[in-house]
Structure 1
Amino acid sequence: MPSKRQENRQLQTDKIVKAAKELFTERGLNDVQMKDVAERAGAGVATVFRYFPKKDELIVEVAIRSLDAVEAEFRRIVSLESSAFDRLELLLDTLLDAQKADHYKAARFREAFESYASFRTEPLPEIDRYLARQRQIMDLLEPLITDGENDGSINRSIAIKPLIVTVINSYSSFTNNVALKSSISYLDQDIQPDIQQQVLKKILLDYCRAH
């Protein structure tokens, strides 16, 4: 059982990370200073630096925690008693739902984070923890992949594992991309972001469905 000191430390960490996530989502990663995080969290600047000596460490921690909801939903869906194809469709629905309501903020942050990380001349501190968390989430797909190889619900013209992983990664990237561009005024109602998301989902599922 954690001590009172450990509990207090965790609560303080959670407050700092929550404040940072809000600010990073509102302003972007580059325009937020540690003093801004301290003010939003109701903590002293020295306290924020004690928990996160570098801003990049805080950015990575926010990124890791932004995967919590995705992991929980993937775990739930993969454990369902249904065909591999039906669970794959639910996973795509989850990725689409992540662009809506409060979940959209997490998706917006992850997009900004991955862009920020890719332009670094040196790897971000603790980035291996983020990559390990992503691998952990993809590893959750193994039972679905095994079932897809055996239950006949998924097209076998391509090996099941690369097919499922590619479909999920492609749809995740695409839904993020068009959601973040939703403020652009599309002249044609037929190509609004939500229409494009649904169209791609249908294309992918039509291919994946066993014929």
Structure 2
Amino acid sequence: MPSKRQENKQLQTDKIVEAAKELFTERGLNDVQMKDIAERAGAGVATVFRYFPKKDELIVEVAIRSLDAVEAEFRRIISLKASAFERLELLLDTLLDAQKAEHYKSARFREAFESYASFRTEPLPAIGRYLTRQRQIMDLLEPLIEDGQQDGSINGSIPAKPLIVTIINSYSSFTNNVALKSSISYLDRDIQPETQQQVLKKILLDYCRA
């Protein structure tokens, strides 16, 4: 059982991470200073630096935690008693739902984070933890992949693993992209993000269906 000191430390860490996530989502990663995060969290700047000596360490921690909801929902869906195809459809629905309400903040942050990380001349500190978490989430698909090879609900013209992983990665990237650019890129009512997301979902599922 954690001590009171450990509980207080966790609570303080959570407050700092949540404040950072809000600010990074509102302003972007480059324009937020540690003093801004301290003020939003109701903590001293020295306290924030004690928990996270570098801003990049805090950025990575926010990125890792942004995957929590995705992992929990993937676990729930994979464990359902349904065909591989039915569960795949539910996974795509989850990725689409991630663009709505509170989940949108996490998706928006992850998009900004991955862009930020890709332009770094050196790897972000602890980026390996983020990549490991992503791999762990993709590893959750193994039972679905095995079922897709056996239950006859998935198109067998392409091996189940590359087919399912490619569909999920492609749909996740696309839904994020059109949602985040909706205010500047899509003016025609007929091609709003929601329309495009549903069209791509149908295309992918129609191809994947046995």
TM-score bucket of the superposed structures, by smaller chain: over 0.9
User: What stretches of structure 2 of length at least 5 have no aligned partner?
Assistant: none
- Indicate the larger mover: 184-193 or 146-155: 184-193
CA displacement at 1:181 relative to structure 2? 0.9
Structure 1 position 51 matched with structure 2 position 42: no
Q: Kindly provide the CA deviation profile for residues 117-137 of structure 1, in whole angstroms up to 9, marking residues without a partner as x.
A: 000000000000000000000
- CA–CA separation in structure 1 for the residues paired with 2:73 and 2:187: 35
**Secondary structure of the equivalent of 1:183?**
helix
Q: Kindly provide the CA deviation profile for residues 120-156 of structure 1, in whole angstroms up to 9, marking residues without a partner as x.
A: 0000000000000000000000000000000000000
Matched pairs, number? 210
1:14 corresponding residue in structure 2: 14
CA displacement at 1:47 relative to structure 2? 0.2
- CA–CA separation in structure 2 for the residues paired with 1:174 and 1:110: 13
Structure 1 position 33 matched with structure 2 position 33: yes
Q: Kindly provide the CA deviation profile for residues 151-202 of structure 1, in whole angstroms up to 9, marking residues without a partner as x.
A: 0000000000000000000000000000001112634211111100000000
**Secondary structure of the equivalent of 2:101?**
coil
1:172 corresponding residue in structure 2: 172
Amino acid at match of 1:60: V
Amino acid at match of 2:46: A
User: What stretches of structure 1 of length at least 5 have no aligned partner?
Assistant: none
Percent of residue pairs identical: 90
Q: What TM-score, normalized by structure 2, do the two folds share?
A: 0.99
- CA–CA separation in structure 1 for the residues paired with 2:206 and 2:31: 43
Change (3 A) 1:187 1:39: closer
Q: What TM-score, normalized by structure 1, do the two folds share?
A: 0.98
**Secondary structure of the equivalent of 1:38?**
helix
- CA–CA separation in structure 1 for the residues paired with 2:115 and 2:190: 29
1:83 corresponding residue in structure 2: 83
